[in-house]
Amino acid sequence: MSELLIKLWDSGTIQKGIWETVYMTFVSAFFSYLIGLPLGILLNVTAKDGIHPMPWLYRIVSIFVNIFRSIPFVILMVAMLPVAKLITGTSLGNNAMIVTLVIAAAPYVARMAESSFKEVGGGVIEAAKSMGASDMRIICQVLIPEAKPSLIVGSVISLVTILGYSAMAGTIGGGGLGMIAVSFGYQRFNDDIIWICVLLTIIIVQIIQETGMLIARKTDKRIR
Amino acid sequence: MIQIENLSKTYKTSAGGFTALSDVNLTVNDGEIFGIIGLSGAGKSTLVRCINFLEVPTSGKVVIDGDEMGTLSKKELLIKRRSIGMIFQGFNLLEQRTVLKNICFPLEIAKVPKEQAVKRARELLELVGLADKESSYPSQLSGGQKQRVAIARALAAETKYLLCDEATSALDPDTTRSILDLLKKVNKELGVTIIVITHEMKVIESICDRAAVLDGGNVAELAPVSELFANPKSDIARKLILSAVNTAEEIKGGRVIRIIFDGETSYKPVIANLILSCQAPLNILKADTQDVGGKAFGQIIIGLPDDEVLAERVTKYLDDNGIKFSETEAV
Ligand SMILES: Nc1ncnc2c1ncn2[C@@H]1O[C@H](COP(=O)(O)OP(=O)(O)OP(=O)(O)O)[C@@H](O)[C@H]1O
Ligand SMILES: [Mg+2]
């Protein structure tokens, strides 16, 4: 083990990196869902076979989402730095990175949510309609609760994706394990630091994956 | 009372449009069980979905208790739908809710206070015979049980009409019977008017008072069920009645029994009842009976179905009803 690694550990840099990665991932995911989930509902509801078809609105939202989804994250990240600066007052640091992460992840979350809602059978919605349920009630009491297990699975996938993005954000001024791997490992030719970061990332992903799936299984009343 | 007047429905398709219903006229009286039968694609589902305006007709009207559905505001329509329950072939229960919560759902929509809703839901669970399943989830129930929950749910609000779209088509014959019995009970005890959609004549036969035969979006025939059976006027009705007899389970020279009529059995339609109760295809190999002063004398030789269970059911039915029979060799 290199001296630098021991130094980084003793000074708490690695521990801070872990925390920053987790922090960026979860805070970004939170805001991504705050924006992406309503977008996903909107996409599902206004689709041709949705509960309230509005083809023109669907088209607009869909195109908007596709545009953001088609820009590679490294490019979107630098392109959105001015926006980050507008919101957080700086284009450096974790909070600025969170802004770019949310802009990249929210459209992704919207598509994930849309596909989760699609899994809710047309039959249940039809039954709710036949009982005289309003569109709003169908969204809140049928669509969301019935899609919940699938939404949770989707959120696990989103979290892991956002974690991957956050490592990239580390290269342009964000913190976290991505930053440590690049500035202490790659730029100073310390392979062991890179590998420690890889290992730590794998562990974090595993924890997210396992807990997420456990929660999804516990929530789902279909299988048992 | 449900009045359907000059109802037509044309679906928009890429090919320009498909007319699923054309100029349908019929009236469903309060308290009756009304059947709508037709082959696949005849427009049965379209018709039933037009009744509660899940599908908006292209022309014509649907009048329910004096309210013309097409003239109701969106809000009025939602309120009107509360009085029209609907059940489906696929049950369509909320998978993430318990049985009790499923039945409470329409009551939540009707803004019934929670305590009262739970009480009402329990009453209905009692009615459909699932009192012990209130905290189960739909995935833990059999098909028949799911349909019972669906029926309870459809009846929970102040339901006056119950629309059943192929409600028994996914169920085995025994379960079908028990669901049909339940529908009959609901009709008798709660006075709910029921519209039954099916492609099976035996469903119409077992519970309906009157039935309309739908063919290519038109009503080919509308008559009391007994009349429809005794004297079908349309080709399609005859075809449907015939297909009810020729079921898949063919008879291939299995067990043969001889039913004896010694004057004890009077006008009771023994064979018809036997076939209906057992839902078994029976082959009459030979019949030689005479009617003497309203009493039947003679014998009928029938081939039992190959299916062990069905055959057993037939002999049990005969035993239970005190009908004399003996087992004979194949003729
Ligand atoms: N949304 C739709 N768009 C276009 N055509 C449709 C639509 N819904 C139904 N149809 C057509 O209308 C006809 C009648 O359909 P419907 O579902 O009412 O038949 P059905 O009698 O219920 O048949 P099944 O017994 O198979 O359920 C069919 O030919 C079907 O293809
Ligand atoms: Mg149908």
Residue B330 has pLDDT above 70, yes or no: no
By CB atoms closer than 10 A (0-12, 13-18, 19+), residue B191 is exposed
Number of domains in chain B: 2
Q: What's residue B288's pLDDT?
A: 65
Q: What is the pLDDT of residue B298?
A: 67
Residue B251 has pLDDT above 50, yes or no: no
Contact across the interface for B94 and A132, Cβ inside 8 Å: no
- How far apart are alpha carbons B299 and B263 in whole angstroms? 11
Q: How confident is the model at residue B258 (pLDDT cuts 50, 70, 90)?
A: confident
Q: Quick one: average pLDDT of B161-166?
A: 96
Q: Is B13 near ligand 1, meaning CB less than 6 Å away?
A: yes
Residue B20 Cβ contacting ligand 1 at under 6 Å: yes
Residues B195 and B290 in one domain: no
Domain membership flag for residue A6: no
CB A187 within 8 A of CB A211: no
Q: Does the beta-carbon distance from B109 to A124 stay under 8 Å?
A: no
Atom of ligand 1 nearest to the CA of B44: 21
Residue type, A20: E
Length reported for chain A? 224
Q: What's residue A214's pLDDT?
A: 95
Nearest to B81 among A124, A130, A142 (CB): A130
Low-confidence ranges of chain A (pLDDT < 70): 1, 224
- Distances in Å between the Cα of A83 and the Cα atoms of A65, A88, A103, A108, B25 are 18, 9, 10, 19, 63
Note the maximum CA span of chain A: 70
Residue B94 or residue B297, greater confidence: B94
Centre of ligand 1 from the C-alpha of residue B63, in Å:
23
- CATH number, domain of B267, equals 3.30.70.260
Could you identify the atom of ligand 1 that is nearest to the CA of residue B38? 21
Query: Which pLDDT score, from 0 to 100, does residue B249 have?
Result: 40
Residue A190, domain member (yes or no): no
Instruction: Provide the 10 A C-beta neighbour count for residue A103.
Output: 22
Instruction: Give the mean model confidence (pLDDT) for residues B22-40.
Output: 95
- The pLDDT, as a whole number, for residue B265 is 58
A222/B139 touch (CB, cutoff 8 Å), yes or no: yes
Q: Is residue A131 part of a domain?
A: yes
| Residues B264 and B308 grouped into a single domain | yes
Share of chain A above pLDDT 70, in %: 99
Res A222: pLDDT = 87
Check A224 against B90: CB less than 8 A apart.
no
> B125 with B99: CB under 8 angstroms?
yes
Among A121, A130, A149, the residue with its CB nearest the CB of B86 is: A130
Instruction: Evaluate if residue B24 carries a pLDDT over 80.
Output: yes
**Is the same domain home to B162 and B97?**
yes
Residue that has been written with the tokens 């037009």 in this structure: B50
**What CATH number did the domain enclosing A83 receive?**
1.10.3720.10
* Residue A109 exposure: Cα atoms within 13 Å on the Cβ side: 26
Q: Is residue A193 domain-resident?
A: no
Please identify which residue in the block is written with the tokens 């989402």: A65
From B188, B215, B236, the end of a domain falls on B236
* Residues B260, B299 contacting (CB under 8 angstroms): yes
Q: Relative to the CA of B199, which ligand 1 atom is closest?
A: 25
Judged by average pLDDT, the poorest of A137-146, B179-188, B275-284 is B275-284
Largest CA distance in chain B: 69
Q: What is the pLDDT of residue B266?
A: 55
Instruction: Indicate the pairing of strand B283-292 with strand B295-303.
Output: antiparallel
Which of B187, B215, B236 delimits the end of a domain? B236
CA B225, B46, B176: angle at the middle one, nearest 5? 50
- A164 Cβ neighbours under 8 A, 6+ residues apart: none
pLDDT tens for B308-327 read 878 888 888 888 888 878 77
In this structure, is residue A33 part of a structural domain?
A: yes
Section B70-82 average pLDDT? 95
Tell whether A95 is covered by a domain: yes
Residues B217 and B250 in one domain: no
Q: Is A53 on the interface with B (CB under 8 A)?
A: no
CA of B37 to the centre of ligand 2 (A): 10
Q: Looking at the predicted structure, is the pLDDT value of residue B287 above 80?
A: no
Residue pLDDT, tens place only, B213-243: 999 999 999 999 888 877 788 989 888 876 6
Q: What percent of chain B has pLDDT over 90?
A: 63
Task: Domain count for chain A, please give it.
Answer: 1
Q: Is the whole-model pTM more than 0.90?
A: no
Flag if A133 and B79 touch (Cβ within 8 Å): no
A75 backbone dihedrals φ, ψ, rounded to 5°: -75, -45
A135 inside 8 A of chain B by CB: no
Give the B-side interface with A, CB within 8 Å: 52, 54, 77-82, 84-86, 88, 90-97, 105-106, 108-110, 137-140, 150, 153-154, 157, 163
- B310 plus B199 within the same structural domain: no
B46 Cα to the center of ligand 1, angstroms: 6
CA distance B97 to B238: 44
Q: Give, in degrees to the nearest 5, the angle at Cα B115 between B109 and B119.
A: 90
Tell me, what's the pLDDT at B275?
A: 83
For chain B, give the number of residues.
331
Least Cα distance to B104 among B53, B173, B155, B42 occurs for B155
Domain enclosing residue B167, as ranges: 2-236
Residue A180, token pair as written in the block: 């440590």
Interface contact flag, A141 B106, Cβ < 8 Å: no
Residue B250: is its pLDDT beyond 50? Answer: no
| Contact (CB<8Å) B78/A141 | no
Q: Which residue's CA lies nearest to atom 1 of ligand 1?
A: B11
Contact B315, B325 (CB under 8 A): yes
Task: Choose the closest CB to A146 out of B84, B96, B108.
Answer: B96
Chain B contact present for A187, CB below 8 A: no
Task: Kindly state whether residues B71 and B106 are assigned to the same domain.
Answer: yes
How far is the C-alpha of B136 from the C-alpha of B204, rounded, in Å?
32
Give the residue with greater pLDDT, B210 vs B257: B210
Give the residue from chain B lying closest to A146, CA to CA. B96
Say whether pLDDT at B247 is over 70.
Answer: no
Q: Is the CB of B187 under 6 A from ligand 1?
A: no
Mean pLDDT of chain A: 93
A145 vs B contacts (CB less than 8 Å):
94, 96-97
If you take atom 24 of ligand 1, which residue's CA is the nearest one? B40
pLDDT band of residue B303 (cuts 50, 70, 90) is confident
Best residue in B79, B87, B96, B108 for a mutation probing chain A (most A CBs within 10 Å): B96
Q: How far is A65 from chain B (nearest CA, A)?
A: 28
Question: Which tens digits make up the pLDDT trace of B88-136?
Answer: 999 999 999 999 999 999 999 999 999 999 999 999 999 999 999 999 9
B163 contacts A124? CB cut-off 8 A: no
SS (H, E, C) chain B: CEEEEEEEEEECCCCCCEEEEEEEEEEECCCCEEEEEECCCCCHHHHHHHHCCCCCCCEEEEEECCEEHHHCCHHHHHHHHCCEEEEECCCCCCCCCCHHHHHHHHHHHCCCCHHHHHHHHHHHHHHCCCHHHCCCCHHHCCHHHHHHHHHHHHHHCCCCEEEEECCCCCCCHHHHHHHHHHHHHHHHHHCCEEEEEECCHHHHHHHCCEEEEEECCEEEEEEEHHHHHHCCCCHHHHHHHHHHHCCCCCCCCCCEEEEEEECCCCCCCHHHHHHHHHCCCCEEEEEEEEEECCEEEEEEEEECCCCHHHHHHHHHHHHHCCCCEEEECCC
Flag whether pLDDT at B56 surpasses 50.
Answer: yes
Q: What is the pLDDT of residues A134-183, one digit of tens each?
A: 999 999 999 999 999 999 999 999 999 999 999 998 888 888 999 999 88
Specify the pLDDT at position B253.
55
Q: Provide the CATH number for the domain around residue B179.
A: 3.40.50.300
User: Does B175 share its domain with B292?
Assistant: no
Nearest to A148 among B93, B96, B157 (CB): B96
pLDDT, tens digit, 9 for 90 and up, residues A118-127: 999 899 999 9
Residue A14 lies in a domain: no
Q: Across residues B294-311, what is the average pLDDT?
A: 76
Cβ partners under 8 Å of residue A28, min gap 6? A98, A101, A102, A105, A162, A165, A166
Do B145 and B281 fall into the same domain? Answer: no
The residue whose CA has the least distance to atom 2 of ligand 1 is B11
Cα of B41 to nearest chain A Cα, Å: 18
Closest to A129 in 3D by CA, of B209, B105, B303, B252: B105
Could you tell me the residue range of the domain that residue A26 belongs to?
19-174
- DSSP letter string, chain A: --HHHHHHHHTTHHHHHHHHHHHHHHHHHHHHHHHHHHHHHHHHHHSTTSSS--HHHHHHHHHHHHHHHHS-HHHHHHHTHHHHHHHHS-SSHHHHHHHHHHHHHHHHHHHHHHHHHHTS-HHHHHHHHHTT--HHHIIIIIIHHHHHHHHHHHHHHHHHHHHHHHHHHGGGT--HHHHHIIIIIITTT-HHHHHHHHHHHHHHHHHHHHHHHHHHHHH--S--
Q: Which position has the higher pLDDT, A143 or B274?
A: A143
**CA A89–ligand 2 middle distance (angstroms):** 60
- Asked whether residue B252 falls in the same domain as residue B271, the answer is yes
Give the list of residues 6+ apart from residue A202 with CB closer than 8 angstroms, or none: none
